[in-house]
A = this chain, B = another copy of it.
């Protein structure tokens, strides 16, 4: 594979010994990722007839894609422009021309002074006469919605008549963030492996008399020992739910584990900037697993399998959700109040097609988008009874023909205690 030829494997293996966030940013590896993704972006631009993509950012509320585009930590209004032919131009405050030059990604850097960004931005666009200019505005996706209210007003005034040609860059942002190149998939796999290892070590802590808080804090101890970060807000990662504590994005409720409890953990690890997101389900024995708990588990397993059986490129996300949701409702359990799964990458909740229901007021059109090859998704339909919520969240990669399981699927309840 060409990533071997480029020594990507070696670069990745060297990463493990470096400090997490800082080094990766400046590494040749991240630059290599970006160069490969540029092709995804250009392909999407061609498909949609987009002539140029402007990411317009400033300090204080930086565009979430600025970092991916090697355009971060700039002070004044700054435009990162990618044209359909792949050319990259930066328009920045003149004190930061050299800053961007040192990033080695932009072909041309245009500095401005006390006149502000507008004149050079307008000149650039006028020369190109684009029919469609994509900007980071999106109804459904936070990370594709980086253009702020004040910046949009400024940009529209700067572009004058061309402001009528602005379109959403949502699909370009998805190409950049959710379509993973092989080296990125390797990092997600490492994040998954580390998460699973911590899960294994955590097991001893899940037993009668222990508090949910102790399990939560033990996971942090293990993270610290391994110099790893959680995949989402540390006060909610892992989320430890005991018995019928309601499903919530919290670290714990303050319950004590006792015999006969159903326990569920939701946990993820960030490895060199890439995330994992896995749930595990336990029964605190000894003793027979109650029938209701076993039926929750079996239904959840079947729902995951039903979703996986349809997962492939080209299918709209809502159909994957539907496969799992229908099975759960038919089993007599309530409909879960969230999506069956989401893209996974640099963020735990990565932008992309949502494997979610058609609830336009909540999810907009996220579920209408088609699943694409090279995206990683979580599969996590919930089955709730009065004994708790069972969720066998696993992480899978979409391949040309279907999918590949990246995390080990949970095939049986873990009996602990």
Contacts and interface: CB of A to CB of B under 8 A. Distances in A.
A258 interface: no
Give the number of copies in the complex.
Answer: 2
A148 B152 CA distance: 9
11 contacts: A59-B142, A60-B141, A60-B145, A60-B349, A76-B362, A95-B247, A95-B337, A114-B359, A116-B361, A147-B148, A148-B148
A249 B96 contact: yes
Given A61-B146, A135-B149, 13 more contacts: A26-B235, A60-B351, A72-B233, A75-B249, A96-B248, A96-B249, A99-B236, A113-B337, A114-B337, A114-B362, A137-B148, A138-B150, A139-B150
A64 to B, nearest CB: 5
Interface in A101-146: 102, 113-116, 118, 135-146
Interface of A: 22, 25-26, 58-64, 72-76, 94-99, 102, 113-116, 118, 135-154, 232-236, 246-250, 253, 337-338, 347, 349, 351, 357, 359, 361-362
A45 B150 CA distance: 21
Contacts of A63: 61
Nearest to A97: B248
A138 B58 CA distance: 12
A250 B145 contact: no
A75 B363 CA distance: 12
A9 to B, nearest CB: 26
B98 A248 contact: yes
Contacts of A59: 142, 347, 349
B150 A149 contact: no
